[in-house]
Structure 1
Amino acid sequence: MASHTKESARIYTTAHTTYSGKAETPAALAESTEICFRDDVYEASGSGEGGGTGGGRATKGLSMPLASIFLIAEMAGAGILSLPHAVANTGWVGVPLMMVMSLGVGFAGTRLGKCWVILEQRWPEYRAPCRRPYQAIAFRALGRPGQIAAEVSLTLTLSGAAIVYLLLAAQVIHDLMGAAVPLSQCEWCLVLGVLLLPTTWLSTPKDFWGAPLLALGATLLACLVVVVEVVLDKDHEPPEFTAPTFKSFFLGFGAILFALGGSSIFPTIQNDMKNRAQFPDSVVITFLVLLAIYLPVCAITYGILGSNGLPANILQAVRGPAVKVTQVFILCHFLFAFAIVLNPVNQALESVFKVPADVFGIKRVFLRTCVMVVIILIGLTIPDFSKILDLIGGSTVVLMSFVLPPLCFLRLNAATTLTAFHTASSSCALRILPKWEVATLVVVMVVGVVGSIASTWSALDAIISEQSFNTTCFSPKTFLYRSTAS
């Protein structure tokens, strides 16, 4: 991990260039500056280089370990519930596939973190906190088309993740409450949407830093209970290991990508750090912890239950008092992580509609309430969380986690002329990346694109099937349906 920090610090002290390779016009500079904003309080001393807190950065921020906790809390949860079923769809090859995908996404994520370090060195305005950091990276690396692609993909990815969290929370609380509160899952979706609305009004993840700590603890405890319950339960039918089909394999592939595809929020968390050059270390820690959680849960549950005993939500495969405790833990995670996942979407929309970033007012409340209404409506339209999870995982998650990070990093390192912010006496040479690094990034992009095409097609085919239209919450029968367990 120390090598990542050392490399990021070296980027800070090496001369680099702009996207176009030329001094930019005032209009272009103004356009890029609109992506970011400055806090009211800055640190007066320091240049902001070397990953320090100077150069317009607030003196407070996330530490490297705390940033890792934010990332883990955001990525784990819905992914761990669907991963055993994803492995069942892919067969045993899903276990090594998960490891390979983790290495690919993790490596690309460290390079995405270094992209922001490069931006801070080349363009001083980015040393202030930025509301839309991923879009800024894409703009500087790929121009306006890259910024638009990042904007749309990030909004769809995080919005889809928020919908998944809301639907799973409604499903879990419906199972927990049972006959005590006779509400259907669709009705719980509405209730939770209203209850969670105030949490979305908070400014940035720094305003609720305790949430990911609780979410991570809840997820770890939930995984432990699930594994123990599956191992101790002797009433399972003999496991069957069905050979995957083309469609099932790539549906599982999409679910695996969703569980690993947290890159869309990486720059947002990095921007809240005191030392942004340490972010690659946070990424390494994150994926090591995720693998330590994902692999045992998937291998044990699939090995004991087989393809015939693994529903889309692993909690539905186990019963008993311990499972109720597990559901409470998981519900806590969903409720705490929901606002974190949705926050970058709200920040991006506020930037578009010119809503003040540092003022809690009626404009912020109105805009974020509208976003929540849209989230609830989509959730009621497609109440099966696994279909949204598969679609997002196979499409926009691939772009944000597999394609844009390597592409932006390669492009930012390819420029050779000076920016208007450097002195005329400065010199800059082409920064040549090692061949193994370039080859690895290209392979990550190719694998992501190929898997994305097949996974997206499989997910869309499942969504538009006749059965899907019969289970929407807008059907009165479905909306008011209460299972016999209730």
Structure 2
Amino acid sequence: MDGTVSTGYVSEDEVPITTATSDDKKASNFQSQQIGTEDTSEKTGSRKIELTAGSSEQRKGINWFLASMFILGDLVGGGVVAMPVAFIQTGFILGTVFMLVICIIFVITGWLLADTWEIMRERWPEYREHCRKPFSEMARRSMSKESEWAVLIAVLCTIISIVMLIVGISLDFQDCYHEAYYPSISIDAILSLGIFLFAFNGHQVFPTVQNDMRNPTEFKKSVFVGFIFVALLYMPLSAYSFLVYGNSMADSVINSLQIIWIRYVADLSIAMHCILAIIITVNPINLQLEDTFDVPNKFCLKRVIVRTGLLFMALFVALSLPNFGAVMNLFGSTTVPCTCVVLPTLYSVYIKAATYDKDKDTWIKPTFLEVLRNTPKVLLLALIVINVITIICSLIATVMSVKEIIGVHFIPPCYILPFLAKKNRTRLEANVLNCCGKYMNISRFGSECSALSYALFLFS
């Protein structure tokens, strides 16, 4: 087959393109046709690839709305209780702006990630098959019906938690709102970016969800709707919590609720969400480890050992860091910008600037200069601005997070407490709460007040 095929941003005056045959045109139209309404074949160069997957509309998988629920289940969780606390450093207006800007940017990068996956499916049929490195190779993973129900239940648990939080805050409104104190905005507002970014983190899971769809081309719609749901859950609760409690919140808004049973229900719902949503969030690491240790692609003892070991490691980290606030700021300001902004934009521009070499029957990776030359200038400028702002804010937030961690007095984990002297042990009391008011001393029911956390580490 003669002719050089080029896709992406490459224009005809930059890369020579000869007239393609009818078979070439069929191959180039593959993205719009997907896999076709019946078994078809794609000819690329001298190679003939048989496609037996069937129609993307007819194949089994989740629909776009259920995919948006998977996104919602992946993103919403700990951010529900941590996001309101971030408003203490940003204030109402700046916090709302941060949330909207991050949400918009992450929708854009999620859209680019979905677009990149579609192109990879078109160019390399092996990406329509099983692969164990979902984010790094944008591959696929099959998801069972049990996983779908687990995610839906996780979303339901989050909604229950949010409802309980709103009810609890409303009941505290009369006593706390008039005594709330709103601190002025300072440079520390940058530190809260880590919490905002951490709350919207989840792009590494998107390729696996997209490939489990009945029609993967509709995943862009799922990203858009999913982030709308996330914003609708995050923003009202965060703003309302800050309005009522002001600067009295610490670590989690749940600690500020003054009705004990509501706090218990909210805590339990968030815990249930995290337990169920871990099916989604931890799966990319599971698959990477299975690929590293050559675990068979089926249920077996080796797979059980690897996945159980990972969960025990996660549990160990969670128990070792009872106060996760400072660490969340650090993770949010370092890893999240890379996986959710920088990498998706780079994936998109590089794959679209690639050219096809018919002699070698392969796609040639572009150089950095070729990416700059072949990418539409308006899009290139927009992505540069997004990445520059993200990197600068990330660096500032990282430095501030490290300084915060250095000054934090960490509470000893529970597995060390039995070996400490009795006077140095942690005292845990369920009725201790973050009382409201400027001086954090207002309690509706006479509960013991603590401006720091439930756990009071005592030294004498």
TM-score band, normalised by shorter chain = 0.7 to 0.9
Residue 438 (1) aligns with residue 380 (2) = yes
* Residue number in structure 2 paired with 1:484: 429
Q: Is the 8 A contact 2:134 2:284 kept in 1?
A: no
* Whole-angstrom CA distance in 2 between matches of 1:67 and 1:478: 47
* Residue number in structure 2 paired with 1:411: 350
* Residue number in structure 2 paired with 1:54: 53
Residue 225 (1) aligns with residue 219 (2) = no
How far is the alpha carbon of 1:388 from its aligned partner?
2.9
* Residue number in structure 2 paired with 1:213: 152
Q: Is the 8 A contact 2:39 2:54 kept in 1?
A: yes
* Residue number in structure 2 paired with 1:467: 409
* Mapping for residues 342-357 of structure 1, pairs under 5 Å: 342-357=282-297
How far is the alpha carbon of 1:257 from its aligned partner?
0.2
Task: Tell me which protein shows more helix as a share of its residues.
Answer: 1
* Residue number in structure 2 paired with 1:178: none
Q: Is the 8 A contact 1:256 1:393 kept in 2?
A: yes
Residue 79 (1) aligns with residue 20 (2) = no
Secondary structure, counterpart of 1:485 in structure 2: coil
* Residue number in structure 2 paired with 1:110: 111
Q: Is the 8 A contact 1:263 1:400 kept in 2?
A: yes
1:389-444 deviation per Cα after TM superposition (whole angstroms, max 9, x unaligned): 22221111110001001111011111233465589xxxxx9996554333222222
Structure 1: gaps (5+ residues): 1-12, 22-42, 139-201, 424-428
Cα distance change on mapping 1:270 and 1:130 into 2, 3 Å: farther
Equivalent AA in structure 2 for residue 317 of structure 1: S
Cα distance change on mapping 1:56 and 1:135 into 2, 3 Å: farther
Secondary structure, counterpart of 2:132 in structure 1: coil
* Whole-angstrom CA distance in 1 between matches of 2:317 and 2:113: 30
* Residue number in structure 1 paired with 2:309: 370
* Mapping for residues 447-462 of structure 1, pairs under 5 Å: 447-462=389-404
Q: Is the 8 A contact 1:262 1:401 kept in 2?
A: yes
Cα distance change on mapping 1:53 and 1:82 into 2, 3 Å: farther
* Residue number in structure 2 paired with 1:387: 326
How far is the alpha carbon of 1:462 from its aligned partner?
2.8
* Whole-angstrom CA distance in 2 between matches of 1:386 and 1:365: 31
* Residue number in structure 2 paired with 1:241: 182
Q: Is the 8 A contact 1:406 1:442 kept in 2?
A: no
* Residue number in structure 1 paired with 2:257: 318
* Residue number in structure 1 paired with 2:449: none
* Residue number in structure 1 paired with 2:121: 120
* Whole-angstrom CA distance in 1 between matches of 2:82 and 2:210: 27
1:459-482 deviation per Cα after TM superposition (whole angstroms, max 9, x unaligned): 2333343512x5344532699745
The partner residue of 1:303 within 243, 249, 253 is 243
* Residue number in structure 2 paired with 1:36: none
Secondary structure, counterpart of 2:342 in structure 1: helix
* Whole-angstrom CA distance in 2 between matches of 1:45 and 1:297: 50
* Whole-angstrom CA distance in 2 between matches of 1:331 and 1:111: 32
How far is the alpha carbon of 1:206 from its aligned partner?
5.4
Q: Is the 8 A contact 1:137 1:408 kept in 2?
A: no
* Residue number in structure 2 paired with 1:337: 277
How far is the alpha carbon of 1:75 from its aligned partner?
0.4
* Whole-angstrom CA distance in 1 between matches of 2:362 and 2:417: 64
* Whole-angstrom CA distance in 2 between matches of 1:97 and 1:369: 37
Larger Cα-atom Rg: 2
Equivalent AA in structure 2 for residue 463 of structure 1: I
* Whole-angstrom CA distance in 2 between matches of 1:442 and 1:375: 35
* Whole-angstrom CA distance in 1 between matches of 2:185 and 2:357: 53
Secondary structure, counterpart of 2:388 in structure 1: helix
The partner residue of 2:39 within 45, 48, 61 is 45
Residue 402 (1) aligns with residue 341 (2) = yes
* Whole-angstrom CA distance in 1 between matches of 2:116 and 2:419: 47
* Whole-angstrom CA distance in 2 between matches of 1:96 and 1:48: 47
Higher relative contact order (CA 8 A, sep 6+): 1
* Whole-angstrom CA distance in 2 between matches of 1:206 and 1:350: 22
Cα distance change on mapping 1:362 and 1:110 into 2, 3 Å: same
* Residue number in structure 2 paired with 1:130: 131
Secondary structure, counterpart of 1:59 in structure 2: coil
How far is the alpha carbon of 1:14 from its aligned partner?
7.9
* Whole-angstrom CA distance in 2 between matches of 1:478 and 1:452: 39
* Residue number in structure 1 paired with 2:234: 294
1:321-349 deviation per Cα after TM superposition (whole angstroms, max 9, x unaligned): 33333333222212211232111111111
Q: Is the 8 A contact 2:6 2:355 kept in 1?
A: no
Equivalent AA in structure 2 for residue 239 of structure 1: A
How far is the alpha carbon of 1:205 from its aligned partner?
6.1
Q: Is the 8 A contact 2:7 2:355 kept in 1?
A: no
How far is the alpha carbon of 1:64 from its aligned partner?
0.9
Equivalent AA in structure 2 for residue 87 of structure 1: F
Secondary structure, counterpart of 2:219 in structure 1: helix
Cα distance change on mapping 1:405 and 1:55 into 2, 3 Å: farther
Equivalent AA in structure 1 for residue 149 of structure 2: G
Equivalent AA in structure 2 for residue 313 of structure 1: S
* Whole-angstrom CA distance in 1 between matches of 2:184 and 2:52: 53
1:94-125 deviation per Cα after TM superposition (whole angstroms, max 9, x unaligned): 11111011001111110011001111111111
Percent of aligned positions that are identical: 29
Structure 2: gaps (5+ residues): 16-36, 44-50, 364-369, 432-460
* Whole-angstrom CA distance in 1 between matches of 2:85 and 2:267: 18
